[in-house]
């Protein structure tokens, strides 16, 4: 037996992208069904980014899920770049008139789940064999299995918010889809620890031994990273080794404020830059990590996904409320223009702040020269600041 369902927009993926889209569409009176191959507990537990641009904050306000963010988030007016112990502050507020907010993606996801659950959102968790079909027709379908039973959803549009390894991008024929990728020759080893941050603002550090990032999730919880080899395992990095290496890369002046302790989460993430074009195929629309990945150096992954959703929700709302399809027709082109600019910034900052094994002494000198130029030029610092707080939506 096959269970049949009907909706206006079928959303594949219940991370922050899919949940935000469902919430914004619900406010416009548009019906959605959300699918995910994982369960809610797993999705909420994923450790991800924590720096929110003003555009992301605005989107969460518009979605009615920003109360806890404003109560618990940490407003940051700047951050530091450091090179072999020399620090330069990028004054976001002075250079752009805008700040960013530190508030973990885990919390954003929880807030959106709570809102959608209260709004009686139709969810299917722990689904298998998801297959979007008939995407070039007016009635695309999404087939899947749950608990050994077949289901089919008939809809007007499919939103692929299911991440880099999801099924949505794979549904676009290979002769249509083009992909662009840069895989970096290192990873980030990250830990969470119940200790105050080493600084009240983030510090991105380039040291001869590699990159380090001093970050936080709250005034009592820190999130720290160091560059590591792709061949490393978490077991290679007991806490004592991590703290010693992290302190070395921060430099003695900064490390003097470092409070160490046992980590309660530790993981290694590879770094890549990736873009898929186009972001629309028939009535399938890609958003977030399904279409693009940025290295985490510039804190752009979640923010870029939210920008996609703001544009996609606007397009779908215009279609249903006014019959205007201009935004739908221009979605891929509009989003990709911004995506490539954000990819450029993330690539630039990653190139500046990491030790690349293939770099010659000349290229290492160029890194230092670039840092010195940024530190000595208000215009160069402003360019960094403008990208960090978020480029205009269009």
Known catalytic residues are 76, 204, 296, 300, 388
Query: Nearest to residue 76, comparing CAs of 101, 46, 96?
Result: 101
Decide if 273 contacts 347 (C-beta within 8 A): yes
Helix boundaries (H) for 282-330: 301-322, 326-329
How many Cβ atoms from other residues are within 10 Å of residue 287's Cβ? 31
Decide if 290 contacts 169 (C-beta within 8 A): yes
Which helix (H) or strand (E) covers residue 70, if one does?
Answer: helix 67-72
Full 3-state SS string of 72-108:
HCEEECEEEEEECCEEEEEEHHHHHCCCEEECCHHHH
3-state secondary structure of 259: coil
Decide if 12 contacts 129 (C-beta within 8 A): no
Report residue 288 as tokens: 């977030």
């Amino acid at each position: 037996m096959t269970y049949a369902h009907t909706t206006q927009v079928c959303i594949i993926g219940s991370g922050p992208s899919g949940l935000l889209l469902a919430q914004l569409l619900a406010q416009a009176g548009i019906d959605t069904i959300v699918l995910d191959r994982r369960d809610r507990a797993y999705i909420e537990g994923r450790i991800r980014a924590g720096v929110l641009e003003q555009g992301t904050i605005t989107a969460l306000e518009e979605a009615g899920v920003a109360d806890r963010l404003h109560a618990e988030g940490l407003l940051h007016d700047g951050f530091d770049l450091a090179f072999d112990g020399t620090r330069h502050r990028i004054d976001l507020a002075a250079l752009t008139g805008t700040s960013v907010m530190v508030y973990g993606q885990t919390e954003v996801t929880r807030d959106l789940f709570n809102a959608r659950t209260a709004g009686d959102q139709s969810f299917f968790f722990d689904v298998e064999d998801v297959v979007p079909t008939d995407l070039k027709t007016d009635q695309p379908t999404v087939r899947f299995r749950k608990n050994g039973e077949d289901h089919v959803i008939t809809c007007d549009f499919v939103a692929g918010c299911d991440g880099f390894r999801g099924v949505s991008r794979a549904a676009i024929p290979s002769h249509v889809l083009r992909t662009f990728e840069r895989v970096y020759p290192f990873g980030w080893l990250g830990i969470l620890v119940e200790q105050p941050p080493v600084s009240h603002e983030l510090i991105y550090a380039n040291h001869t031994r590699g990159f380090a990032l001093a970050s936080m999730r709250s005034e009592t919880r820190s999130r720290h990273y160091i560059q590591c080899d792709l061949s490393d395992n978490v077991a290679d990095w007991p806490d004592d080794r991590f703290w010693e290496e992290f302190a070395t890369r921060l430099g003695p002046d900064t490390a003097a404020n470092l409070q160490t302790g046992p980590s309660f989460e530790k993981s290694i993430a590879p770094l890549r830059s990736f873009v898929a074009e186009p972001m629309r195929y028939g009535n399938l629309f890609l958003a977030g990590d399904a279409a693009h990945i940025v290295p985490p150096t510039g804190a752009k992954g979640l923010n870029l996904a939210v920008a996609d959703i703001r544009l996609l929700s606007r397009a779908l709302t215009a279609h249903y409320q006014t019959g205007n399809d201009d935004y739908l027709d221009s979605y891929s082109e509009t989003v990709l223009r911004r995506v490539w600019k954000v990819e450029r910034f993330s690539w630039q900052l990653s190139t500046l702040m990491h030790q690349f094994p293939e770099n010659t002494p000349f290229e290492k000198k160029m890194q230092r020269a670039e840092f010195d130029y940024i530190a000595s030029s208000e215009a160069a610092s402003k360019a960094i600041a403008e990208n960090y707080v978020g480029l205009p939506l269009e």
